[in-house]
């Protein structure tokens, strides 16, 4: 089978790196091959340093922003390796919507809560459109509206979205559209709400999606 490289954003939080490594281990176990981890930012190693010929690169990103559209292809080019296949980012896949809903329920969400989906921002309109799709799909699953609050870059910012939700007079629950712990998830926690969902993490459905991205790429 072709080598698999799982590329994640990267974070200074050791728990974030552990989550990425756990995903890689679970994916490798399911596929029966070793999975190499690389990072687009903050942490090492970078993608160009670990690529080998004929590898499949799966971006562990929830939206196709600058890192997926720019940094990752540039690293592939810089590596000089041949026959590299770049799979699509994870995006607003049904598996991830199910996990986001599960994490929210685990955190204590109740029907009737005002829900804000905390997400990483982007200057890429395509990436923001993917987040809006995720929010709409989560709303369908919960049977209620889901607002978006971006931690960085995009509007509405997390603070603005939470203040709007509070003005409804309903209890506020914060859903997480983040894959791993780190500074972005910490921003959700410090918002001060009792219900803050954990990141999606190495749930089996996330693992299944990464496996599917790899298998689709080698067809």
* Domain boundaries along the sequence of the chain: 4-90+202-218, 94-196
Summary mean pLDDT of the chain: 94
For residue 202, is pLDDT > 90?
A: yes
- Residue 29: CB atoms within 10 A of its CB come to 11
Task: Tell which residue, 23, 11, 206, has the closest CA to residue 120.
Answer: 11
For residue 42, is pLDDT > 90?
A: no
Total-model pTM: 0.93
- Just give the CATH number of 94-196: 3.40.50.1400
Average pLDDT of the segment spanning 80-109:
97
For residue 176, is pLDDT > 70?
A: yes
Higher-pLDDT residue of 93 and 183 is 93
* DSSP structure string for 45-83: -BHHHH--TT-EEEE--SS--HIIIIIHHHHHHHHT-SS
Out of 3.60.20.10, 3.40.50.1400, 3.40.228.10, 2.60.40.1180, select the CATH number for domain 4-90+202-218.
3.40.50.1400
Residue-level pLDDT at 192: 66
């Amino acid at each position: 089978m072709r080598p698999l490289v799982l590329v994640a954003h990267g974070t200074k939080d050791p728990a974030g790196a552990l989550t990425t490594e756990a995903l890689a281990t679970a994916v490798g176990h399911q596929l029966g091959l070793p999975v190499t981890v690389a990072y687009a930012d903050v942490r090492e190693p970078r993608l160009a340093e670990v690529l080998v010929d004929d590898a499949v690169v799966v971006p562990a990103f929830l939206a196709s922003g600058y890192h997926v559209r720019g940094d990752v292809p540039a690293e592939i080019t810089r590596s000089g390796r041949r026959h590299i296949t770049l799979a699509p980012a994870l995006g607003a896949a049904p598996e991830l919507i199910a996990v986001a809903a599960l994490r929210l329920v685990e955190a204590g969400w109740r029907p009737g809560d005002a829900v804000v989906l905390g997400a990483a921002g982007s200057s890429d309109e395509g990436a923001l459109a993917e987040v809006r799709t995720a929010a709409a799909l989560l709303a369908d699953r919960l049977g209620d509206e889901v607002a978006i609050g971006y931690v960085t870059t995009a509007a509405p910012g997390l603070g603005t979205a939470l203040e709007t939700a509070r003005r409804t007079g309903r209890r506020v629950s914060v859903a997480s559209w983040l894959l791993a712990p780190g500074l972005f998830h910490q921003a959700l926690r410090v918002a001060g709400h009792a219900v803050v969902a954990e990141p999606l993490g190495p749930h089996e459905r996330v693992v299944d999606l990464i496996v599917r991205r790899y298998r689709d790429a080698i067809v």
